[in-house]
Chains A and B, each alone.
Chain A
């Protein structure tokens, strides 16, 4: 969808909207770093919100400190896309704790993203490790 002075009416067509919402989001959008870490945090066990925050901080070596608004902004999408689903609820200290688990599509999406990132890293490492090419125009 783009904005232009003469863009057409189809921008808000329901079929297009549904396609954007349910198909494009699943296939074409790159996985964000918070989404990647949240999925990773759920690989070994279901976790509740604060458990995910702590696990993500540990996985990222303290670099990614999720705020609550950020966590749920990502989590609601992952639930919507079927990559994560609620597991069970517990009440502790009078607080409702809802646990989330990774679904099979979520596991597949995470594996694909991990492979993509690994391939990127391999390419960068190879280039970094390779001898520098001769400068253009220099005598061979």
Chain B
């Protein structure tokens, strides 16, 4: 077996085992045929040093996504996983879009761009005014909003591109933090990296909205965006207007939102309400894991780096939020496991194309 063949077979491992059993030899033969050359020397060079091109890698990766994440020909478990990943991506985009919208509005407000509103609290106003470039850069996060709306309207490619662009500030922040850390100018902040990881995973999850993916119902998700923005604005108004201080940080909000949705999901059947799709259990279990991770890492930052005068209070509230997420994660994971167990274990590949006997 040539090295080229070994490399291609290694690439094919991304495909489900049952699919490989049916198609691998055929695919390998076709690939090697495509790399043959009449020049024996060139053929030998390709066999020794050749690699599958990026376009070949992309085509196999696309096939793997199709086979593993829900298509017309996929088994029910893949359908469930595909739908769950799309739900995770949708909810992730929804949260990012709502947060970015409210964040941009707040940014304009505290920098005095919305003069018709009451003046913001003095400690919210940045010490030095932002430059035009900094303002523009900070508004890049707003790309989550058209990415979300674009996805709802069926423009999946545009949504993927916009989401990838929206991650760029996170990349820049992580790079800058790394430089500062190396220079000893700043401590290690896990939150920066965890936020970037979430953004990147979200962009990758959007791959589940492939060509064959079912369309998204726009109306409920658009309503969810409006409700999310309204709730966030309400929270900030509460924080602005109340004394003592209401402790709100993003990981905490994610935990509270997750627990709220999870409880509604878990109690719906008991209340005689129509059950949500099984994929919701899977999706919420995945989101519980992400929320828990973000909460714990941000608490580590508070504990190791400090959080001003509210440190002990933040740690106590944060720990409670983490425990609440764990409390709903258990039942969610059990329900998700039940769902997967009940789905019929159909093979992951179409009928093996064995040749007819002649």
**What is the interface of chain A, defined by CB distance below 8 A to chain B?**
1-9, 11-12, 14, 17, 20-21, 24-25, 29, 48-50, 53, 67-73, 76-77, 79-80, 85-89, 95-100
23 contacts between A and B (CB under 8 A): A3-B277, A4-B220, A7-B276, A9-B274, A9-B275, A11-B277, A12-B277, A24-B72, A29-B72, A48-B30, A50-B29, A67-B55, A68-B31, A68-B60, A72-B26, A73-B59, A76-B23, A77-B73, A79-B353, A85-B353, A86-B354, A98-B25, A99-B355
B206 proximal to A (CB < 8 A): no
Nearest-neighbour CB distance to chain A for B147, whole angstroms, equals 16
Q: Which chain A residues lie closer than 8 Å to B30 at the CB level?
A: 48-50, 53, 68, 71-72
Pairwise interchain contact B55-A95, C-beta atoms closer than 8 A: no
Is B62 close to A, CB under 8 A?
yes
Closest Cβ–Cβ distance, residue B51 to chain A (whole Å): 14
Complex Cα gap A70–B210 (Å): 14
Task: Give chain B's interface secondary structure class.
Answer: helix
Q: Is the CB of B79 within 8 A of A97?
A: no
CB distance from B194 to the nearest CB of A (A): 26
Interface set of B (CB-CB < 8 Å, partner A)? 19, 22-23, 25-34, 55-56, 58-63, 66, 72-73, 76, 79-80, 83, 86-87, 90, 214-217, 220-221, 224, 274-279, 343-344, 349-351, 353-356, 358
The answer on a CB contact under 8 Å between A2 and B216 is yes
Q: Which residues of A contact B90 (CB under 8 A)?
A: 3
Instruction: Please determine whether B216 and A67 come into contact, CB atoms closer than 8 angstroms.
Output: no
- Most-contacted residue by chain A among B56, B73, B214, B354 (CB, 10 A): B73
The 6 A-B residue pairs with the shortest CB-CB distance, nearest first, are A69-B59, A49-B30, A67-B59, A50-B33, A80-B350, A69-B60
- The answer to whether A87 and B62 have CB atoms under 8 Å apart is no
Given A5-B220, A67-B55, A76-B349: A12 and B80 interface contact (C-beta under 8 Å): yes
B63: A residues at CB distance < 8 A: 69-70, 72-73
Interface pair B87/A72, CB less than 8 Å apart: no
| Chain A contacts for B66, CB-based, 8 A | 73
Alpha-carbon distance A8/B343, docked complex (angstroms): 16
